[in-house]
A = this chain, B = another copy of it.
């Protein structure tokens, strides 16, 4: 039967250097699909409660999205997960590009990496074969250098590389996994887990895509998107994700100076338009995508000689290392972005950690000893760039900030915790929850800590009913204000969160505006399954429940679903001036969310009957281990 998966999972044990291939049947894939669904399955099923995220008992799971390799925009993504060293909870991050497609071509849907190597290694996976190779000569080198060496060593310039940088080697708690230099599985610190395992890279190459049930159905959608890409994604094509800088500034929700403000006086200097008109030299695409939203930028000369070999800054980076640090110098932000790519650091957490340090410095919380001469006021681009480097190298204050803002605040003491904007230890990404309160709920309940892609679309898009969303299709008929947190909003939030998790497993880029039907049609076309939006939403719900169960097993509970105090105070500026999230309303929304999810309100554990309703009764056994 033709379908989109290989049926093969590669297991690699780095302690004893063994590898084995495991098979999973069709129903496994139909239940968990791919990406986060498969990552969550293995992490919940195979990790012992309480393992050290940076010890040999943690596992790193790479899983391609179900559709990876289908010749259609957006269907190219994979997730990589582990118990997070940043949060101690379930962790994963996703990236686009080409790597997942190549993994599929090589014959695998996922890789489970166990144990810990004594010496640096990399994996070379090619058409079913696997080698664990020495990486001693790569250790400590920037990602660009390693990328080049690896392609030479495997003697195939079309191989694809997922690697960590020196930041991951040094266990920066928010180290990322860099895919082919341009695509970043940024969050939750999986790069540090690989670093702890001494695994520098996973290089893949294959020659055979898994069969597809009905190629024509997939192609028809791809063609529709290509034909209409100007209308559907023209902004992204032209400006990249940086288009969002101006949009959010207008809406009063551009994170500025550690979220103290919602507008930035130099927003225009960071915008996608400015990038286009100044430093942009090219655009890049992910597999099969006509949008080409990825930026390639170059800065010649000056203090920030940005190379075109790394990619340009995305919106999150422009805000995190730019406006949120009070910095409007696009060259400096692009340089900091390149440093993050070279070191393998998550730009969101890096920027957030620096903004946190700036506010601490402003409030006199950092000692001279900690500052070592750094002038850490908001807006100081030189200091920001220095700190990125220091974090990557774990030097001085950088070593402290490499622990993430939660741990850094504890170490600094005093009022520092007030400026540490995180949920469950993960730094808040660059979306201001006071301008879309549902997102605040999303930050609080996200199993990975504050995250913007688990529920990004719950409010802003939902109002408009456009593209990917059209929540009327799910029976949500009345528009809801962005500041609403009524039960009606929680309901919308539940549905949308289910969908966003499903979208991850399916492997679909958030920026490709396929509607529910089109996503269903793609899954059908690739797999031949007679699936529906019901089944896919339930896959999403299943995934959230596995993530939640993982966290409950680790001792997390409803008390950890918190939002930083700052978001309960009023925005001082911009279109939403005076708006805050009401704490009482927020607490009620949290309660409603737990109820609607059928999660125990005291422990957070999914109820047995919900797990049974989702066809994952086995999760109850894992919950009993808590």
- Which A residues have a C-beta under 8 Å from some C-beta of B? 27, 30-31, 470, 472-478, 487-488, 490-491, 494, 515-517, 529-535, 537-539, 592, 595-596, 598, 607, 609-610, 612-613, 615, 617
Contacts and interface: CB of A to CB of B under 8 A. Distances in A.
Contacts of A487: 609, 612-613, 617
A1 to B, nearest CB: 13
Contacts of A532: 473-474, 516-517, 532-534
Contact of A534 (B27, B488, B490, B534): B534
Contacts of A491: 612-613, 615
A491 B538 CA distance: 12
Given A490-B612, A494-B613, A592-B612, A478 B531 contact: no
B477 A27 contact: yes
Contact of A615 (B488, B494, B592): B488
Contacts of A607: 595
A531 B477 CA distance: 11
A473 B530 contact: yes
B535 A475 contact: yes
A27 B475 CA distance: 10
A516 B530 CA distance: 10
A612 B488 contact: yes
A534 B476 CA distance: 11
Nearest to A591: B609
Contacts of A529: 472
A599 to B, nearest CB: 11
A4 to B, nearest CB: 16
Contacts of A30: 472, 475, 477
A379 B539 CA distance: 54
22 contacts: A27-B477, A27-B478, A31-B477, A470-B530, A472-B535, A473-B531, A473-B534, A474-B534, A474-B538, A475-B539, A487-B612, A487-B613, A488-B615, A488-B617, A491-B613, A494-B613, A532-B532, A534-B537, A592-B609, A592-B612, A596-B610, A596-B612
Contacts of A537: 534
By secondary structure, the A interface counts as helix
A592 B609 CA distance: 6
A538 B477 CA distance: 13
Contacts of A515: 530
A473 B595 contact: no
A473 B536 CA distance: 9
A596 B613 CA distance: 7
A474 B537 CA distance: 10
Contacts of A531: 473
Contacts of A617: 487-488
B534 A475 contact: yes
Given A473-B535, A534-B534, A595 B615 contact: no
B615 A475 contact: yes
Nearest to A595: B609
Q: 5 tightest A-B contacts by CB?
A: A487-B612, A595-B609, A475-B535, A532-B533, A473-B532
Contacts of A610: 596
Contact of A472 (B476, B488, B530, B592): B530
Contacts of A473: 530-532, 534-535
A533 B475 CA distance: 10
Contact of A609 (B478, B530, B596): B596
Nearest to A495: B534
Nearest to A487: B612
Contacts of A613: 487, 491, 494, 596
A51 to B, nearest CB: 30
Nearest to A536: B475
A488 B515 CA distance: 31
Nearest to A486: B612
